[in-house]
């Protein structure tokens, strides 16, 4: 009888550890919001310094270095499909108060990166998926921003040649990859030090299978 009771208690404890009330918990929402706040802080510093220079892609290249750093750490922490869209959704809503144009290309970058990572990785397991998600997000924002700018302000951007946009994309890819790799290394060190609690991918898959 005692063995039966102990086995039942072990099962109940296991269920408590694995079952959560929702797809994301409060801590995940808070972490995503903090990441969005970090992205906003970076943009608030970079944009006023670089935008007056009117060099296509310069703002995105510098912003991508720091933005991909924070996004990679967040994706490693959150892991689940939809994590990038959660972060960029919060960020884009904040940007909506500044400009609908910024809201548009931030949300497009999040949707593009999330879609590609979902189709290929089914979330953000391992090391490659978070890096790819962060880099794709940063790279997708620039052409989206240029397209919207061409539409709303054609007199300002009609002279920008296509090859300039391609070079800018290569630079953005380089700086974003560098930032994402640095974010990956920092996340690993924080995890070893016990400062970053990462949700095991096995637990994510178990919860998705129950849904």
DSSP calls for 12-57? HHHHHHH--SSSS-HHHHHHHHHHHHHHHHHHHHHHHHHGGG--TT
Q: Which CATH number fits domain 27-202: 3.40.50, 3.30.70, 1.10.1760, 1.10.60?
A: 1.10.1760
Q: Give the integer Cα–Cα distance in Å for 208 and 36.
A: 25
Q: Where are the domains of the chain?
A: 27-202
Which pair of structure tokens corresponds to residue 45? 């510093």
pLDDT tens per residue across all 211 residues of the chain: 444 434 434 444 444 444 445 788 999 999 999 999 999 999 999 999 998 888 889 999 999 999 999 999 999 999 999 999 999 999 999 999 988 999 999 999 999 999 999 999 999 999 999 999 999 999 999 999 988 888 877 766 667 778 888 999 999 999 999 999 999 999 999 988 888 877 655 445 544 454 4
Predicted pLDDT at 41 = 97
């Amino acid at each position: 009888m005692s063995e039966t009771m102990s086995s039942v208690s072990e099962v109940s404890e296991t269920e408590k550890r694995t079952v959560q009330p929702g797809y994301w918990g409060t801590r995940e929402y808070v972490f995503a919001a903090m990441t969005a706040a970090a992205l906003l802080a970076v943009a608030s510093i970079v944009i006023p310094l670089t935008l007056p220079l009117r060099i296509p892609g310069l703002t995105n290249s510098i912003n991508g270095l720091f933005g991909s750093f924070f996004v990679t750490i967040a994706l490693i922490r959150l892991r689940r499909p939809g994590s990038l869209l959660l972060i960029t959704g919060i960020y884009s809503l904040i940007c909506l108060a500044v400009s609908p144009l910024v809201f548009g290309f931030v949300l497009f970058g999040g949707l593009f990166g999330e879609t590609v990572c979902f189709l290929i990785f089914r979330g953000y397991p391992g090391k490659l998926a978070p890096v790819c998600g962060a880099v794709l997000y940063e790279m997708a924002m620039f052409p989206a921003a240029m397209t919207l700018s061409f539409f709303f302000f054609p007199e300002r951007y009609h002279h920008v040649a296509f090859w300039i946009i391609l070079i800018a994309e290569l630079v953005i890819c380089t700086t974003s990859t560098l930032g994402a790799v640095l974010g990956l290394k920092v996340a690993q060190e924080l995890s070893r030090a016990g400062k970053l609690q990462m949700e095991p991918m096995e637990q994510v898959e178990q919860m998705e299978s129950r849904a």
